[in-house]
Amino acid sequence: MRYIDERHLDFAVHPLDGRVSRRQHLILKPFSPKVRPAMSLAEDIEIAPRASRRIKLHGAEGFEGMRVAGRIAAECLDMLTPHVRPGVATAELDRLAREFILDRGALPACLFYRGYSHTLCISPNHVVCHGIPGDRTLREGDIANIDVTVIVDGWHGDTSRMYLVGEVAPRARRLAELTYEAFHRGLEQVKPGARLGDVGHAIQSYVEAQRCSVVRDFCGHGVGQVFHDAPNILHYGRPGAGEALKAGMFFTIEPMVNLGRPQVKVLADGWTAVTRDKSLSAQCEHSIGVTDDGYEVFTASPAGLFKPF
Ligand code: MF3
Ligand code: CO
Ligand code: CO
């Protein structure tokens, strides 16, 4: 998701979205022998469009590209489901995801994105987003969001789900459940002529009626041949406000919902965002396209594991 404070700056360029510089090649090569074949794909997308403030409208080819990328991203999350168990290290899940993606000829979009060096973001409990995989093991009772983005033929499939580790407390399960419901209420607003404010309002009003809060500091984003593109998709808003949706727009909806207050802080690692009040946080993300009569979800789970619990 985009960090909202950046909304007035130019959209940054992923080394694999825009031009792959010599220096980025040098950083990429030593990483893993598996990345080498993937680099030829990176070269293919060297001329991919850069982010801009203009909202792109895509045609049939874009829908086809996003279906393929979205499917691999969703399959990656499906693949992880049986591995998300007490005792698994988050770095191990990251390794499984990287291998899975590279084996399919896709690229992990987060690897080397603005200095990030992992495939997944794994955000347990009070981590709101951008949790960095590492030695931490998941424990019985944790809830964790796993977020993956893959690039296939230049198209980005970006999705995340909640995983419940073993038996979890009822309030933790309830938070995960209501975050899915909030996502759905936003999604149901999507059709040509609706406004982005309608999407945000549907999410916010539901979440607040449940006495939870919507994170303001991160938002969804346009997606396609650029990872984080215009428009910003706020998960709060006023009905009728904001940009009008048009068929062919691609974006993510990815509400982050806290059990307590909405405020977050980013830890010293520069990535990990946590709730200030240490309350639990949950998220659900899909990449979607606006169709003539509604929406298409590009990252639906082929295994029916939309909610892996
Ligand atoms: N997948 C995240 C999103 O939903 C972005 C993660 S960027 C990373 O937009 F560098 F932290 F991986
Ligand atoms: Co996203
Ligand atoms: Co994501």
Query: Which pLDDT score, from 0 to 100, does residue 49 have?
Result: 62
Domain limits for position 25: 2-46+71-297
Is residue 87 assigned to a domain? yes
Q: Is the pLDDT of residue 284 over 60?
A: yes
Per-residue pLDDT of 216-235, as tens digits, reads 999 999 999 999 999 999 99
Ligand 1 pocket, CB under 6 A = 1, 110, 113-114, 116, 121, 130, 147, 149, 158, 254, 271, 285
pLDDT above 70: percentage of residues in the chain? 85
Is residue 309 assigned to a domain? no
* Count of domains for the chain: 1
Q: Are 150 and 73 in contact (CB under 8 A)?
A: yes
Query: Which pLDDT score, from 0 to 100, does residue 65 have?
Result: 98
Residue 266: HSE in the Cβ half-sphere, 13 Å Cα cutoff = 10
Q: What CATH number does residue 162 fall under?
A: 3.90.230.10
d(CA 178, CA 83): 24
Per-residue pLDDT of 76-129, as tens digits, reads 999 999 999 999 999 999 999 999 999 999 999 999 999 999 999 999 999 999
Is residue 193 assigned to a domain? yes
Is residue 51 assigned to a domain? no
Which ligand lies nearest the alpha carbon of 223? 2
Which ligand lies nearest the alpha carbon of 108? 1
Q: Is the pLDDT of residue 17 over 60?
A: no
Is residue 91 assigned to a domain? yes
119: closest CA among 138, 103, 139, 100?
100
The protein residue whose alpha carbon is closest to atom 4 in ligand 1 is 1
Phi, psi torsion values for 198, nearest 5 degrees = -65, -40
Chain mean pLDDT for the chain: 88
Query: Which pLDDT score, from 0 to 100, does residue 4 have?
Result: 62
Is residue 63 assigned to a domain? no
| Three-state secondary-structure class, residue 25 | helix
Q: Which residues surround ligand 3, an ion (CB under 5 A)?
A: 147, 158, 285
Q: For residue 36, what pLDDT band results from cuts at 50, 70 and 90?
A: very low
Per-residue pLDDT of 266-277, as tens digits, reads 999 999 999 999
Question: What integer is the mean pLDDT of 12-20?
Answer: 38
Q: Which residues contact 128 (CB under 8 A, 6 or more apart)?
A: 215, 218, 256, 258, 264, 273, 274, 275, 281, 283
Question: What integer is the mean pLDDT of 132-144?
Answer: 98
Most informative mutation of 121, 132, 156 for ligand 1 (most atoms within 8 A of CB) = 121
Query: Which pLDDT score, from 0 to 100, does residue 52 have?
Result: 80
Query: Which pLDDT score, from 0 to 100, does residue 45 have?
Result: 39
Per-residue pLDDT of 181-224, as tens digits, reads 999 999 999 999 999 999 999 999 999 999 999 999 999 999 99
Q: Is the pLDDT of residue 11 over 80?
A: no
Q: For residue 2, what pLDDT band results from cuts at 50, 70 and 90?
A: confident
Is residue 304 assigned to a domain? no
Is residue 159 assigned to a domain? yes
The protein residue whose alpha carbon is closest to atom 8 in ligand 1 is 110
Q: For residue 32, what pLDDT band results from cuts at 50, 70 and 90?
A: very low
Burial class of residue 82 (count of CB atoms within 10 Å of its CB; 0-12, 13-18, 19+): exposed
Query: Which pLDDT score, from 0 to 100, does residue 51 have?
Result: 81
Question: What integer is the mean pLDDT of 264-292?
Answer: 98
Q: Are 63 and 144 in contact (CB under 8 A)?
A: no
CA–centroid distance, 295 to ligand 1, in Å, is 23
Better-scored residue on pLDDT, 49 or 64: 64
Most informative mutation of 146, 147, 232 for ligand 1 (most atoms within 8 A of CB) = 147
CA–centroid distance, 229 to ligand 3, in Å, is 13
Q: Are 175 and 260 in contact (CB under 8 A)?
A: no
